[in-house]
Amino acid sequence: LAVLTTSTLPRWGGEILSDHLKTEARAARHLDLVHPNAHLESKGYPVPKATKTGTTICGTVFKDGVILGADSRATSDNIVAEKECQKIYYLVPNITCGAGTAADMEKVAELISSQLELHRLNTGRSVPVVAACRMIKQRLFNYQGYIGAALIVGGVDSTGPHLFEIHPHGSSQTGMFCTMGSGSLACMSVLESRWKENMNLDEAKQMVRDAIKAGITNDLGSGSNVDMCVITKDKVDFIRPYEVVCAKGVSFLKKNSLTVTPSWIPTEVIPSAEQKELDALVSKCQRNEEASRKLCRDLKKYCDTMSSLGKAEVAMTGDLSSSSMCQNDPQLCHLVEGYHALAQQVGQPRCCRAEP
């Protein structure tokens, strides 16, 4: 077969084939938009990676309403961006939702909340939960997943409690319990094993707490506290935090320990002149007291060895010049002289006042 070209065909046939080739060329250029990353890779640029998000949220229906639970850690890749991030948002008095990419989720919640409030004011009735689900689905579907908001919508209306799980592309599903996020596997294991019909409030709270706690302890993208929202027909109760799971502690390097050393500053007390004088007087009195006590001990010891009590009495009271005993006993004279000299200086020693 001959290859058809614009030169081998008539004029009108060549124009048709030329237009067809141009159309295919334009289509090929448009098809390149479907694989933009392959085009970047062919030019030597690194292929962009998908954004990783981390969170753990869950919801369950109990006897009187709906309970939503979430962790409070916001991450940016491998970095903890915030430890107290709010992931449960208020929509209308009977409906709440959470969570997803923090910035996208916050703006979506603000927009849907304003639309639902207008709906409530126009109708004069509480907004059905399915209406909130429908609005959110339409908003997310328009952006084809480029808004990173994955929500669990829960509320109570005239038909009872309802729980919806909405994905970023706009798809949704309903159930009696659900979970989303990077910690959803561990969370779902708790919900599937412990959920039962007609649970009371306390049982539902404990189950949601344990489910979020399982996600926090088994997923690096989840952490910090357990936040909870209890939605009943009469009110919406935000409990934040319900429980602190990962309390911050003190960490040390290996083979290190904490040693507390009290700070001590050496001080020197400089006494005043009066204090120095008083200390000198006290020291002098102490020395005199010791000397007097020693003298008394010597006198008593000598008196005990005297053959006659009269010799000691003469020696203690009397006149040394008229006493012949001092001349015969030099040791006694020395002791008596010391006794009288000390008595004149500090008074009679106490040990010798009663009797020698």
pLDDT in tens, 300-309: 666 665 544 4
Of the pLDDT bands very low, low, confident and very high (cuts 50, 70, 90), residue 331 is low
- Which residues contact residue 195 at a Cβ distance below 8 angstroms, ignoring those fewer than 6 apart? 60, 176, 177, 207
Radius of gyration of the chain (CA): 51
Of 195, 162, 165, which is closest to residue 180 (Cα–Cα)? 165
> How does pLDDT run across 182-206, given as a tens digit for each residue?
899 999 999 999 999 999 999 999 9
Is the model's pLDDT at 207 over the cut of 60?
A: yes
Q: Which among 5, 8, 23, 55 is annotated as catalytic?
A: 55
Helices (H), 172-272: 184-194, 201-218
Q: Compute the mean pLDDT over every residue in the chain, rounded to the nearest whole number.
A: 77
Which homologous superfamily is 56-244 in?
Aminohydrolase, N-terminal nucleophile (Ntn) domain (3.60.20.10)
Which among 339, 262, 247, 260 is positioned nearest to 293, based on CA atoms?
339
The mean pLDDT value for 62-71 works out to 94
> Is 55 one of the annotated active-site residues of the chain?
yes
**Residue 113: phi, psi to the nearest 5?**
-65, -40
Strands 79-82 and 74-76: antiparallel
* Domain parsing of the chain, residue ranges: 1-48, 56-244, 273-352
**The whole model's pTM is what?**
0.59
Q: Find all residues with CB under 8 Å of 203, minimum gap 6, and list them.
A: 62
